[in-house]
């Protein structure tokens, strides 16, 4: 297998077929729903909250709510159903999560998307959870992760997952590689390609995106959707604390397995950082849309499909986490 990461790859332009970048269509159908771009903010407490999730649903962007305020999930799904907005939530694999699925079922609430969100997704606990959800909520689109190998993708797909999420350790606030020696940190894009070749259902590339162009690269190497944390954590709407240092504005961004999120030091695999304040999230989403339209034009097409077959070169750079 060839090993490379986002910073090692450049896509090669084809002749342009459109007259303006505005003619390029970066939208995607995922899980039976249509979204403006193939991008989803990470389901982390400093990246998404209910207010932002609602805004994203209202504006046809995909979102996944995090699972770290478990008691708010049922009322959230209820509220979104009442507003006829897409509901997309996360669960873990501990026993109380099965009770939560039962609570949804007994209220006849069917979330559009449920993401099983654990660090090591290639596990029987995840397979059991997929079975549990699919039996009770067969219409819900189930995303399972996170994984790093084709074997894991196939096993979760066989268990009934509708999509799998690829990326163990490439994240900006991730210390899994340092603490355990494992993961896809430094070769995340190659891992996406490796997994996508084996996949029969959509793949979400998760972690390691540092520039908007990395979204196009993810699509080129087989992702249908791209999950991003650090590039979304710095907005006015981001739930992390605002912090001023020497008149410079930052937002707090911490890992879901950080001491801060866990409230303790057991099995910590994430850290707490500050990211630059970036203003309105709508401006960033617009910029991502325009950059993707430009990528499509360089690919010589008019929609995301054009990106999937473009040629590329590998320009060897250092193996880091994309930093
Ligand atoms: N994408 C990534 O690279 C990573 C993401 N994370 C994020 O951090 C959050 C917390 O994750 P996680 O710790 O899984 O969640 P939980 O603490 O909810 O753990 C889920 C369950 O899986 C078990 N578990 C977790 N890791 C392992 C492992 N390596 N081997 C065996 N069992 C395991 C836990 O038991 P026990 O705790 O007793 O082991 C627990 O029962 C999630 O949001 C996850 O996405 C964390 C690390 C890496
Ligand atoms: N190893 C860890 N990975 C984590 C943790 N919290 C979140 N994550 C993963 O990172 C991505 C976001 O990556 P980014 O490069 O875009 O910032 C997120 O979706 C998770 O998969 C953690 O504590 N440890």
Atom number in ligand 2 closest to CA 270: 23
Show the ligand 2 pocket: residues with CB < 6 angstroms.
42, 44, 146, 167, 169, 171-174, 176, 206-209, 227-230, 255-258, 269-270
Task: Please tell me the distance from the alpha carbon of residue 293 to that of residue 23, in angstroms, as a whole number.
Answer: 8
What ipTM does this complex have? Answer: 0.95
Dihedral pair phi/psi, residue 108, rounded to 5°: 55, 40
Task: Please tell me the distance from the alpha carbon of residue 166 to that of residue 196, in angstroms, as a whole number.
Answer: 9
**CB of residue 97 inside a 6 A radius of ligand 1:** no
For residue range 122-176, list pLDDT tens digits in order: 999 999 999 999 999 999 999 999 999 999 999 999 999 999 999 999 999 999 9
Predicted model pTM: 0.97
User: What interhelical angle do 96-106 and 73-82 show, nearest 10?
Assistant: 30
Q: Which two tokens stand for residue 218?
A: 């993810």
Task: Please tell me the distance from the alpha carbon of residue 192 to that of residue 75, in angstroms, as a whole number.
Answer: 35
How many angstroms separate the alpha carbon of residue 5 from the centre of ligand 2?
16
* Residue of 119, 204, 271 to mutate, ligand 1, most atoms within 8 A of C-beta: 119
How would residue 316 be classed by pLDDT, with cut points 50, 70 and 90? confident
Dihedral pair phi/psi, residue 263, rounded to 5°: 70, 25
Task: Please tell me the distance from the alpha carbon of residue 194 to that of residue 198, in angstroms, as a whole number.
Answer: 7
Q: Could you count the other beta carbons within 10 Å of the beta carbon of residue 310?
A: 19
Q: Which ligand is nearest to the CA of 255?
A: 2
Can you tell me the mean pLDDT for 79-95?
97
Q: Where are the domains of the chain?
A: 6-314
Answer whether residue 10 shows pLDDT above 70.
yes
Q: Is 213 annotated as a binding residue?
A: yes
* Residue count (the chain): 323
Q: Looking at domain 6-314, does it have CATH number 3.30.56.10?
A: no
């Amino acid at each position: 297998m060839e090993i490379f990461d986002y910073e090692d790859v450049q896509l090669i332009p084809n002749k342009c077929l459109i007259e303006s970048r505005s003619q390029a269509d970066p939208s995607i159908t995922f899980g039976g729903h249509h979204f403006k771009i193939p991008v989803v903010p990470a389901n982390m407490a400093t990246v998404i909250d209910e207010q932002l999730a609602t805004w994203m649903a209202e504006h046809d962007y995909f979102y996944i709510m995090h699972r770290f305020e478990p008691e708010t999930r049922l009322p959230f799904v209820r509220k979104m159903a009442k507003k006829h907005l897409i509901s997309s939530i996360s669960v873990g694999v501990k026993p109380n999560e099965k009770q939560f699925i039962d609570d949804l079922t007994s209220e006849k609430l069917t979330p559009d998307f449920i993401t099983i969100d654990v660090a090591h997704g290639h596990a029987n606990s995840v397979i059991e959870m997929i079975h549990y959800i699919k039996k009770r909520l067969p219409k819900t689109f189930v995303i399972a992760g996170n994984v790093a190998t084709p074997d894991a993708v196939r096993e979760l797909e066989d268990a009934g997952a509708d999509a799998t999420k690829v990326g163990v350790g490439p994240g900006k606030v991730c210390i899994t590689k340092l603490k355990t020696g494992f993961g896809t940190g430094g070769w995340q894009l190659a891992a996406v390609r490796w997994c996508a070749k084996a996949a029969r259902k959509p793949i979400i590339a998760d972690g390691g995106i540092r520039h908007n162009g990395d979204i196009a690269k993810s699509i080129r190497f087989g992702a249908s959707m791209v999950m991003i944390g650090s590039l979304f954590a710095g907005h006015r709407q981001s739930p992390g604390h605002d912090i001023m240092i020497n008149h410079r504005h930052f937002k707090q961004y911490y890992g879901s397995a950080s001491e801060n999120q866990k409230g303790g030091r057991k099995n910590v695999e994430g850290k707490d950082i500050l990211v630059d304040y970036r203003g309105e999230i709508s401006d960033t989403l617009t910029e991502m849309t325009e950059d993707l339209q430009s990528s499509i034009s360089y690919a010589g097409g008019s929609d995301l499909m054009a990106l999937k077959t473009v040629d590329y070169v590998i320009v060897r750079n250092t193996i880091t986490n994309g930093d």
